[in-house]
A and B are shown apart, each in its own frame.
Chain A
Amino acid sequence: MKIIAVCGMGIGTSVLLKMNIDQALDNLGLEGDVEAADISSARGAAASADLVMTSAELVEQLGDIDTPVIVVDNFVDQAEVQEKLQQGLEL
């Protein structure tokens, strides 16, 4: 399973989100590869991913992609990240 955490630059907020997705996967007992990506490389990265997670502001800029996209409001709320992850993966 591959999940992309998207932010504008790929160094700040997506890194925090990636860390929390890693933790959520761990909590759920799932194996997964989580990658932080900036908005310009996210479309390409998303093509080979199972799920994209990002903020409401960046969804529009991602444009039309075939991979499911889940919006996270609070990147550091472990409970929300885990819930959205389950929702996105239809667990």
Chain B
Amino acid sequence: MSNDVLPVSAIRFKAEAADWREAITISGDLLVASGATTDEYTEAMVKTVEELGPYMVIAPGFALAHSRPSEAVKRTGLSWVTLAEPVEFGSQANDPVDLVVGLAALDHDSHIQVMSKLAGVLANAEVLAQLRASTDPEEIRAALLGD
């Protein structure tokens, strides 16, 4: 798996976000900064929540920010943002959110390996707690990209 999927430039710790829009925008800006997407994708991620609700808050405190594959996606990419203060997304089951992972996918298949790795991390409460508290980008990269 290419390490380009989650470069250090797409990882940020203790970010300040006033609300869910800002939290998603930060995760989108990091995808842009790392060359995975354009600003249109960030706007599409926000719009997705506006239209479909906070369904992407899929685990306690965790949001997987994403939108559909489009021309705004240049390559498969992830971003990792922990928040200084958790924000409400409006999710009944899983608010408030303190970890946002941004996802950009080129199509329905090419990011499956990345997702499989992410699923493994999310399913392991111990590993996830450690990564949530981490301020070492290489630790995040090793967990999500390593063998």
| Residue among A15, A38, A55, A78 making CB contact with B115, cutoff 8 Å | A15
B52 touches A8 (CB 8 A): yes
The secondary-structure label for the interface of chain A is: mixed
Knowing A57-B54, A73-B94, the reply to whether A16 touches B64 (Cβ < 8 A) is yes
Separation in Å of the A63 CB from the closest CB of chain B? 14
B116 touches A19 (CB 8 A): yes
Kindly state the separation between the CA atoms of A38 and B69 in the bound complex, as whole angstroms. Answer: 12
- A residues near B (Cβ < 8 Å) are 7-13, 15-17, 19-20, 36, 38-39, 54-58, 61, 73-78
- B residues near A (Cβ < 8 Å) are 48, 51-56, 58-60, 62, 64, 66-69, 91-94, 103, 105, 108, 111-112, 115-116, 118-119, 122-123
Separation in Å of the B90 CB from the closest CB of chain A? 8
Knowing A57-B91, A74-B58, A74-B60, the reply to whether A12 touches B119 (Cβ < 8 A) is no
B55 touches A57 (CB 8 A): yes
Knowing A11-B108, A74-B93, A76-B123, the reply to whether A16 touches B53 (Cβ < 8 A) is no
